[in-house]
Chain A
Amino acid sequence: MAEHDNDQPLLVADHLGKDYGRLTACRDVSFALYPGEVLAIVGESGSGKTTLLQLLSAQLGPSAGKVSYRMRDGVLRDLAALGEAERRLLFRTDWGYVHQDPAQGLRMAVSAGANVGERLMAVGWNHYGRIRDTASSWLERVEIDIGRIDDAPRTYSGGMRQRLQIARNLVTEPRLVFMDEPTGGLDVSVQARLLDLLRNLVSELGLAAIVVTHDLAVARLLSHRVMVMKGGRVIETGLTDQVLDDPREPYTQLLVSSILPA
């Protein structure tokens, strides 16, 4: 990617907020995400991080502020002003969304190959042989045995399902991937493998990503920058190792000091 492309933000959040009646889920969030940059949003349950991810990915409409995204033609557009068709196209091509529960991001009853191939067909691929070849190469990349390509993900283990979900998301070469607790609910050894895989894919593909996690180790391993949320607000933000090694806010110090040493 040319250097000048990286000087322009890919996604911009501008005083973003969301209320549910009198309850404020998320308030006054502003930041810019650049191409190839991985941002972690950390905080405990109820801190507003999942609401924020849904606002950023246009699955929820904001009560205040706006989110803009740089489309492939280079124009920065307000997500709220996009038509439904345009938004769906973004989701099918330029964005990925990795759910904590793979069952939400996969079709559990159709084959693994079809789960990956489906995304390609949605963007107009129609040559069966090429779709299958691309699907197989992606299964290999996420370390799923090609012999399992015709099996449905409901026969897969949790770790395999999560890796399949990642392949399904990345096959259309998105520029931005949203991840909601991507390693949540997995065994520790399975987590390590998944993290390593994600880390390599993100850097090889130059992906930008926004990762919601309550696990600071995940933030450290995957992200360049971190935002700490509490009570719907961003209370601290900065370079990941800086925030984790030199936390400034009381709540961040509490989070960092609460990690159990292995």
Chain B
Amino acid sequence: MTAMIEIENAAKTFIMHLQGGVELPVVRGVSFQVRAGECVVLSGPSGAGKSSILKMIFGNYRCDGGRIRIRHEGTVIDLATAEPRQVLSVRRATIGYVSQFLRAVPRVATIDVVAEPLIAGGVARAEARERAGALLRRLNIPERLWALPPSTFSGGEQQRVNIARGFIPDLPILLLDEPTASLDAVNRSVVVELIDEKKRAGVAMVAIVHDDEIRHLIADRIVDVTSFAVAA
């Protein structure tokens, strides 16, 4: 078993210049590993820094100290010090991220929103759309909606489109921020199935889930973020 993600002493502090330079330490001493085929769930109360850690692993938040080592195309890249081009390359080939909310691009049809990551990865458009359709069908998005942009959809529908977009590419690392938050029981179990399939395919996952039942179903290991939180 190889570690796909290796975090060592990572730290994050926000400095709020508009509030007189107040320093908001979020986390420090973040250290854990995630192996291929394993789902690690971050736990802890709201505000403990779970989402910040996830965003640091994606390179969306900067890391103020420590290391975030990612196994990427046969080498190891430290995201805490990587150049923007390297981060983009890691996102293209290695790390996928399913956020809580869909950042919809105006005018793009749902089926293309979902197919886009595959096309960007070099899959032919027709095949990408076929796979996108299959995934949307599994997530119970009716075919009549596929040609519409998702911006008009309900919250739950948008989240399912977002999940489809996040799960469609075959990336070795997947980060999940509350993937089941606004879903009904049927769709929650579809997401649990999808996560299981990713595990079997050897994908390393880090997830945030508040629902105890889902956490129990998907977690191979739980990392308590409270120990990294900086006491206020």
Contact = CB atoms under 8 A, between A and B. Distances in A.
Interface stretch (B59-67, B138-146, B170-178): B59-67
A149 to B, nearest CB: 24
Contact of B105 (A34, A221, A242): A221
A245 B55 contact: yes
Interface stretch (A40-48, A70-78, A156-164, A189-197): A189-197
Interface stretch (B83-91, B179-187, B192-200): B83-91
A72 B88 CA distance: 25
Nearest to A196: B107
Contacts of A239: 59, 84, 87-88
Nearest to B63: A246
A193 B61 contact: no
A224 B59 CA distance: 13
A123 B57 CA distance: 48
A238 B61 CA distance: 11
A253 B19 CA distance: 10
A241 B60 CA distance: 6
B85 A37 contact: yes
B84 A225 contact: yes
B107 A193 contact: yes
A145 interface: no
B18 A245 contact: no
> Which secondary structure dominates where chain A touches chain B?
helix
- From A34, A225, A249, name the one whose CB has the most chain B CB atoms within 10 angstroms: A225
Nearest to A226: B84
B93 to A, nearest CB: 12
Interface string B16-29: 11100000000000
Nearest to A6: B85
Interface in B3-60: 14-18, 55, 59-60
B17 A242 contact: no
A214 B85 CA distance: 23
A254 B105 contact: no
B29 to A, nearest CB: 20
A88 interface: no
A74 to B, nearest CB: 20
A253 B105 contact: no
Contacts of A225: 84
A257 interface: yes
A94 B55 CA distance: 38
Which of A195, A239, A250, A257 has the largest number of chain B CB atoms within 10 A?
Answer: A239
Interface in A180-239: 192-193, 195-196, 199, 203, 221, 224-225, 238-239
Given A199-B105, A242-B62, 13 more contacts: A34-B85, A193-B107, A196-B108, A225-B84, A238-B62, A239-B84, A239-B88, A242-B87, A246-B62, A248-B15, A253-B17, A253-B18, A254-B17
Interface of B: 14-18, 55, 59-62, 84-85, 87-88, 105-108, 120
27 contacts: A192-B107, A193-B107, A196-B105, A196-B106, A199-B105, A221-B105, A224-B84, A238-B84, A239-B59, A239-B88, A241-B60, A242-B59, A242-B84, A242-B87, A245-B55, A245-B60, A246-B55, A246-B61, A246-B62, A248-B15, A248-B62, A249-B17, A250-B18, A253-B17, A254-B17, A254-B18, A257-B18
10 tightest CB-CB pairs across the interface, nearest first? A250-B17, A192-B106, A239-B84, A246-B61, A196-B107, A253-B17, A225-B84, A246-B62, A241-B60, A239-B87
